[in-house]
Amino acid sequence: MDERKSIPVPAAARLCAVYRLLCDLSAQGVNFVSSGDLGEALGIGAHNIRKDISHISGGGSGRSGYDTARLKKQIAEHFGLENEYRACVTGLGRLGQALVRDGQHIFKELKIVAAFDSDLNRVETIDVGVPVHPTYEITETVKRLNIDTAILTVPDPTAQECAERLITGGIKGIMNFTATHLKVKGGVTVRNIDLAGEFKILSALMFLGG
């Protein structure tokens, strides 16, 4: 088994958070950081930080500390975090439009090269800085432009159909902003970002805490 695939998803998620923090620390000129420093900044125990880093080779001793630039490079190489991915946004409501226009700043590794919408009037008139296509052209366009990542912001009832068109075109990863649980085939990764659902959880916890 590829050792990259043997890393538990929660550990991989924490290491990605560590990577983002290391990027900030590097920009601030911090050259050396301990597992305690990382854990305190991220709200994670120092032991968990050291255990997560042990999944990648050459992490060094968390108790004595880590070379910031070296650890940042190791995590990036292990997970391909400095690779550039060609992406599309499917669904140009307000959220979709915002993600197209600001996506290059929000998602540093993504190059958004196309967008899709089912409203033909919107397709013909909207200007979001990238070519806009009708949703029935998803599969063909994804293949032609070698797009590997999709941001899905369509209405919930159409999410599965759009996802299937994206996957048929060759999409390998979907950032799903809908509330639909997508059924996908092997080899396709989905990350669900349910903003409405997260707010309900936040609201419930605030109510209980109040």
Along the 210 residues of the chain, how does pLDDT read in single tens digits? 445 557 888 899 999 999 999 999 999 999 999 999 999 999 999 999 999 999 886 545 556 789 999 999 999 999 988 888 999 999 999 999 999 988 777 777 889 999 999 999 999 999 999 999 999 999 999 999 999 999 999 999 999 999 999 999 999 999 999 999 999 988 899 999 988 888 888 889 898 886
* CA pair distance 165, 163, nearest whole angstrom: 5
| Cα dist from 96 to 15, 88, 201, whole Å | 28, 10, 23
Instruction: Find the Cα–Cα–Cα–Cα dihedral 174, 166, 76, 198, rounded to 10°.
Output: -10
Burial of 113 (0-12, 13-18, 19+ CB in 10 A): middle
In CATH, what class is 9-79?
mainly alpha
In CATH, what class is 85-197?
alpha beta
Burial of 88 (0-12, 13-18, 19+ CB in 10 A): buried
Q: What tens digit of pLDDT does each residue of 138-197 get?
A: 999 999 999 999 999 999 999 999 999 999 999 999 999 999 999 998 889 999 998 888
Domain with CATH 1.10.10.10 in the chain: 9-79
Domain with CATH 3.40.50.720 in the chain: 85-197
